[in-house]
């Protein structure tokens, strides 16, 4: 990016931050309207609390502020890419997010899409996107080459459900009966379920309280009292039974 573009981006961060709610709500509404398939990717339970919408836009703004020294964001990059990889986020989806984010910036700042300012933001966004895509590619390769490993989603059968403390303990085995990667206590998987009565799937992360062997994964699910109809925990607890199939991403360390 040239110095003029860097200046343009940095000078508009405070205005965008001030209008953070407008920016994120416009962004998500626009994106999910134009790309309804992404309703299966984002956790709609989190959307309603506003937690995730704020996180994505805030990360883009934080990056823009540090655009001359992106290494200060190394920790954030590690955190975001781990989450993305557990959700099978793909490079082409960055174009969708980028286009909608740029339209939202143009709307909030009231500048045309063909302005210099939006061109500068476009460069900034794709600079960050390229960093994330590169790190995610490496993580997918690492997952796929582990013994029993895989990248993306893999079908698992619920082999057992038992009552446990205030919730239930689920045990899953790979539907293909092949081995699965071992995992340390504290690592997590994403589990994707079908939302009842809707043509929709929803993912959610679950942590292992104990180390996992290469045959089955066991984790505890607790009811979410304030969960919406999209709460994966509540769907698992109320709708799923032994023999049912869910999609699972390979274990990752937080």
* 7-66: contacts with ligand HEM (CB under 6 A): 38, 41-43, 46, 52, 55-56, 59-60
| 84 binds ligand HEM per the rule CB under 6 A | yes
Nearer to ligand HEM, 20 or 164 (CB): 20
List strand residue ranges (DSSP E) for the chain, in order: 153-164, 167-174, 188-194, 201-207, 217-221, 245-249
Separation in Å, CA 193 to CA 29, 49, 177, 196, 229: 23, 20, 20, 9, 12
Residue-wise DSSP of 92-104: THHHHHHHHHHHH
Burial class (CB in 10 A: 0-12, 13-18, 19+), 44: middle
Nearer to ligand HEM, 62 or 113 (CB): 62
Rounded least distance, CB 173 to ligand HEM, Å: 26
| 229 binds ligand HEM per the rule CB under 6 A | no
Asked if 104 and 27 touch (Cβ cutoff 8 Å), the reply is yes
**Cα separation, 171 vs 117, whole angstroms:** 52
| 128 binds ligand HEM per the rule CB under 6 A | yes
Q: Any catalytic annotation for residue 184?
A: no
Q: Which of 26, 28, 63, 94 is catalytic?
A: 94
Q: Any catalytic annotation for residue 217?
A: no
Query: Which residue in the set 8, 108, 120, 132 belongs to the binding site for ligand HEM (CB under 6 A)?
Result: 132
Report the 10 Å Cβ neighbour count for 3. 8
Nearer to ligand HEM, 94 or 170 (CB): 94
Nearer to ligand HEM, 39 or 180 (CB): 39
Q: Which residues bind ligand HEM (CB under 6 A)?
A: 38, 41-43, 46, 52, 55-56, 59-60, 80, 83-84, 87, 89, 93-94, 97, 128-129, 132
């Amino acid at each position: 990016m040239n110095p003029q573009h860097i200046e343009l981006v940095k000078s508009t961060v405070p205005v965008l931050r001030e209008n953070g709610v407008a920016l994120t709500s416009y962004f998500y509404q626009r994106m999910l309207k134009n790309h309804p398939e992404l309703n299966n990717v984002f956790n709609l339970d989190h959307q309603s609390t506003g937690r995730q919408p704020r996180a994505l836009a805030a990360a883009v703004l934080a990056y823009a502020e540090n655009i001359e020294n992106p290494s200060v964001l190394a920790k954030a990059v590690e955190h975001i890419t781990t989450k993305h990889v557990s959700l099978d986020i793909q490079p082409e989806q960055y174009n969708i997010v980028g286009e909608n984010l740029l339209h939202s910036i143009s709307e909030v700042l009231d500048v045309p899409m063909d302005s210099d300012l939006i061109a500068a933001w476009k460069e900034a966004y794709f600079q960050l996107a390229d960093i994330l895509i590169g790190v995610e590619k490496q993580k997918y390769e690492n997952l796929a080459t582990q013994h029993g490993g895989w990248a993306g989603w893999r079908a698992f059968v619920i082999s057992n459900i038992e009552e446990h403390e205030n919730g239930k303990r689920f045990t899953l085995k790979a539907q293909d009966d092949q081995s699965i990667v071992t995992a340390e206590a504290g690592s997590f998987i994403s589990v994707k379920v079908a939302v009842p009565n809707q043509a929709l799937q929803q993912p959610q992360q679950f942590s292992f309280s104990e180390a996992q062997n290469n045959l089955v994964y066991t984790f505890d699910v607790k009811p979410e009292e304030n969960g919406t109809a999209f709460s994966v925990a509540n769907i698992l607890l109320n709708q799923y039974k032994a023999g049912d199939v869910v999609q699972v991403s390979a274990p990752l360390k937080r």
